[in-house]
A and B are shown apart, each in its own frame.
Chain A
């Protein structure tokens, strides 16, 4: 015989859990929006050291400078989740010129080596390919005791001539330039990664595409004739 139980209190409790869960997600989403769209952008000057690695047309009306650390998880998140949209919808359409600048953070033990590896790949015109390797395979090297081996594998995978790459890494050819670029960023006010300078305004954090697009659109009138 089927038992009859009053489920109304249970459904009421379940509804309360659903409302609480929905409110939690909504709050997290609102906070995320707060760190991206309502940041307090600050005016910054112009960098004087190495100009960085460029993507996009010189004629693009807006320049975005990204200060990033290859070992930083938030930078990897941005590179994996947001950068494909940025490339497709902003850079490839000629709206944005993207400038990547090195900012290896001191607490990341492999960041300097990763930036050096990218610079040595860049010497052979493979910086962006190496950039993608480093971020897309983030989990494969950040805990690796001998990360340099992984970097060499990545370099090989992107078609870098290894003899030249090895020589470049061994002599630390771009170590001083990387340090100088980082110092330059710090002098501009960069203290965390990723940090973006969009049309002269500085925004810290792994911002979402929509927020970035808003800031790019905001920068357009000032930079277009």
Chain B
């Protein structure tokens, strides 16, 4: 339940960043202006797609799998929890790489990216805890 809720919140954060990136919303609410610098940098795209779009997709997948894991037929099975740990692990690794770029290369911080980093880390912690419980 925690993962589903966090995934949904993360989805909206990623959606916000993606919408800004594609020009759907005019300006980004980010005190220092670091979000714009980060989002307009060459690192804001990965394999030709906006990084935020990966966030939208990733959070949607986490949301879907977390809801699936709550269904009676899946509740006691390990597969959804393993999938959650794997997805969240990939998310945390990708986020760590992006945070490194913000800190060392771009030298600006995007606050919304930090919010997303906090969410995905919390999801991984919850997923690992869930895996231990199921085990």
A contacts, CB < 8 Å to B: 2-4, 7, 10, 13-14, 17-18, 21-22, 24-25, 28-29, 31-33, 35-36, 73-74, 76-77, 80-82, 137-140, 142-143, 205-209
Q: Which of B5, B15, B27 contacts A206 (CB 8 A)?
A: B27
Return chain B residues, CB-CB under 8 Å to A81.
Answer: 21-23
- Tally chain B residues at the interface, Cβ within 8 Å: 34
Question: What is the bound-complex CA distance between A82 and B40, given in angstroms?
Answer: 13
Interface centre among B12, B33, B106 (most CB of A within 10 A): B12
A-B contact pairs, 5 of them (CB 8 A): A7-B70, A17-B9, A76-B40, A138-B40, A208-B23
Contact B12 A10 (CB under 8 A): no
Q: Which of B27, B41, B73, B108 contacts A32 (CB 8 A)?
A: B27
B contacts, CB < 8 Å to A: 1, 4-5, 8-9, 11-12, 15-16, 19, 21-27, 29, 33, 36-38, 40-43, 70, 72-73, 75-76, 106-108
Q: Which of A25, A77, A139 contacts B42 (CB 8 A)?
A: A139
B50 shortest CB reach to chain A, Å? 11
Contact A3 B37 (CB under 8 A): no
Contact B27 A205 (CB under 8 A): yes
Besides the known contacts A2-B73, A76-B36, A140-B42, 4 further A-B residue pairs in the complex with CB atoms under 8 A apart: A21-B12, A77-B36, A143-B37, A206-B26
Return chain A residues, CB-CB under 8 Å to B26.
Answer: 31-33, 35-36, 205-208
Question: What is the bound-complex CA distance between A209 and B1, given in angstroms?
Answer: 41
Return chain B residues, CB-CB under 8 Å to A21.
Answer: 8-9, 11-12, 15
Contact A73 B40 (CB under 8 A): yes
Contact A28 B23 (CB under 8 A): no
B135 shortest CB reach to chain A, Å? 16
Question: What is the bound-complex CA distance between A22 and B11, given in angstroms?
Answer: 11
Q: Which residue of A lies closest to B63 (CB)?
A: A14
Q: Which residue of A lies closest to B1 (CB)?
A: A10
Return chain A residues, CB-CB under 8 Å to B15.
Answer: 21, 25
Question: What is the bound-complex CA distance between A207 and B19, given in angstroms?
Answer: 14
Q: Which residue of B lies closest to A7 (CB)?
A: B70
Return chain B residues, CB-CB under 8 Å to A139.
Answer: 37-38, 40-43, 106
Q: In the A-B complex, list the 9 residue pairs whose CB atoms are closest, starting with the nearest.
A: A32-B26, A139-B41, A21-B12, A73-B36, A81-B23, A32-B25, A143-B107, A17-B8, A28-B25
Return chain A residues, CB-CB under 8 Å to B72.
Answer: 2, 4
